[in-house]
Amino acid sequence: MRRIAALAALVCGLAALPAHAKEGSRFHPGVTSRLGVIATESPAAARAGRAVLERGGNAIDAAAATVFALNVARPQSCGIGGGGFLLYRRHDGAVRALDFRETAGQQASPSMFSGPGIHQQFAGHKTVGVPGTLAGMAEALRRYGTISLAAAIAPAERLARTGFRVPLSLQGAAAQNAERLALFPATAAEFLPGGRPLPAGTILRQPQLAATLRRIERGGIAAFYRGIIARRIVRDMRAPRPETQDAGLLTLRDFAAYRPIWRAPITGTYRGRQILGFPPPTSGGVAIQEMLNILEGFDLAGAGQSSALGDHLIAEAEKIAFADRGEYVADPAFVRMPIGDLVSKAYAAQRRDEIDAARAKSFAPGRFVTPVRAADVADHNPAGTTTHVSIIDRRGDAVAVTCTIEQEFGSAVIAPGTGFLLNNELTDFGPPGTANEPAPGKRPRSSMSPEIVVRDGKPVLVTGGAGGARIIMGVLFSILGTVDYGLNLPQAVDAERLDNLGSARLNIEDARVDPAVLAALEARGHVLVREGEYGPRPRVQLAGIDPATGLRTAVSDSRSDRGSLAERPRATAAGTMRSR
């Protein structure tokens, strides 16, 4: 450890290259308040969440209302046809993690995706897991909320019924996915009216979705998991169009059996801060803590932001973490995992010694007593998109919730009469024989990474992102930017990023990086994939409290729509939310 740290310091001192933050052309300062703040990539959904805060709701209440509104206003990314993960830290320090990940039905098998079919295009009924978002939000409200499920759904129902103005992001996503969307008449009718993508600026009303939300308001989650909504989905799975030939595997029993799961969060430290992450079946919390532990032994601040040395060390730490992620991380109900070892400081010290500060390498996973199965490093659906919400309320409660239907528009399936997209989350499973192989009742490995960083007893950073496996590095860079490089939240979310997904190819937002740094990275053996000023993903949403002043800040990623809002002081006496 001392040898590598000394070498890093030597290289930094002798070969330092220009390294500093450069604000990009899309930089924006975010919003601030001494009350509550919310960061999303949907202005319409953020308004729903802020309204809850302004009427006295807490962070859990606002998170649920925002997630339901995202189903309406950002349907390509999130909705009751999907799932996700919620990390909650109460102002008194209590922390809980809620897993509402989609689940394979009882007819799933390791070979379910072998052979031809539209599942090879990440579309169709076979790719759909039992959705968990509705059950997850209901459980979060039951345990920690102050409003009813119906009250949390009401803003989304109203938005679906009255409509909202289509943003360019939705038009662009529909255009890019038009071929998949056209496979299913109910989906095409919603997002390809007249055979063309939704035009930006027009008002989109979703009456079938509004009707579905009203059913849930009246009947609760039973209307979804045991009622007409589940029956419509299963009926559609059993009778797919002749053109697609893609019968699904889910049954009414699968829907009735679904339950969200409270889990113990991943807890660690980094340079005096407490780090809270999400445990498996997502890999994000494990990978981020492992990388932070490795990097803690290097002087990243001394190397400088976007320095050749700093970026090289970060990339090498990612390779190690992704090797371990691919070998071990999966649904804990099916696979024994050495999580305590992977996130330990002692293990990080061992792996840190493998890094050569002057040369890029490849790394094998660590070896533990736990039986090892075939490695599965790659993510098998590289187009995952997802969306994230970060919230801090006036009490100091913090929520980081990532919700998804997997890639844009999920499976592309809307079951007739339901109005919402179904996920294609089962494409996150790996090949037969790996820890992440499909199995009945199993939850596929994820990269979602809701994280909370605590300093002096305050949540100084509430973070998470969208973008498949690239979420992990987007979240990591928000932590490194604020802790090592001294950036404020708007600077940290805007700053240039890199990501090698555990491989030799280094994706890098190169436009703001000094050419000498890029040349030095190539000289070390990195194969650069240059993405210009901003890459398309990951898209990160940040919130945090300044411990010295108590001021809250929220900021949306420069790479996404700006949906961050602050609670308005004039609304503090506007009454309280209707309680249960």
- Give residues with Cβ within 8 angstroms of 385, minimum separation 6: 76, 77, 404, 406, 407, 408, 466, 467, 468, 537
Annotate 222-250 with three-state secondary structure.
HHHHCCHHHHHHHHHHHCCCCCCCCCCCC
Instruction: Point out the catalytic residue in the list 386, 427, 434, 482.
Output: 386
Q: Residue 367: which residues within 8 A CB-CB, separation 6 or more?
A: none
**Residue 484 to residue 492: CA distance in whole angstroms:** 11
Q: How far apart are CA 463 and CA 275, in angstroms?
A: 11
Q: What angle do helix axes 59-73 and 133-144 make, rounded to 10 degrees?
A: 160
Phi, psi at 361, each rounded to 5°: -135, 175
Give the other-Cβ count within 10 Å of 580's Cβ. 11
Dist. CA 387–CA 183, nearest whole Å: 24
Looking at residue 177, its amino acid is N
Contact predicate 477/298, CB 8 Å: no
Strand partners, 266: 277
Burial of 114 (C-beta count, 10 Å sphere; 0-12/13-18/19+): exposed
**Residues counted in the chain:** 580
**What radius of gyration do the chain's Cα atoms show?**
23
Q: Is 418 assigned a catalytic role?
A: no
Q: For residues 355 and 393, is the Cβ–Cβ distance under 8 A?
A: no
Fill in the DSSP letter of residue 130. B
Q: Which two tokens stand for residue 255?
A: 């829907």
Q: Any idea which residue has 């969208």 for tokens?
A: 466
Nearest residue to 172 via CA among 485, 13, 484, 408: 408
Asked if residue 464 lies in contact with residue 63, where contact means CB atoms within 8 angstroms, the answer is no
C-alpha 75/C-alpha 61 separation (Å) is 20
Give the C-alpha distances (Å, rounded to integers) separating 534 from 17, 384, 531, 560.
22, 18, 6, 10
CA 283 to chain centre: 11
Q: How far is CA 478 from CA 120, 465, 559, in A?
A: 34, 10, 14
From 445, 444, 487, select the one nearest 463 (Cα to Cα): 487
What span, in angstroms and rounded, lies between the C-alpha atoms of 311 and 215? 51
Contact 533, 24 (CB under 8 A): yes
User: What is the C-alpha to C-alpha distance for residues 40 and 541, in angstroms, rounded to an integer?
Assistant: 6
* DSSP category for residue 384: B
Burial of 236 (0-12, 13-18, 19+ CB in 10 A): buried
- Catalytic residue numbers, as ranges: 386
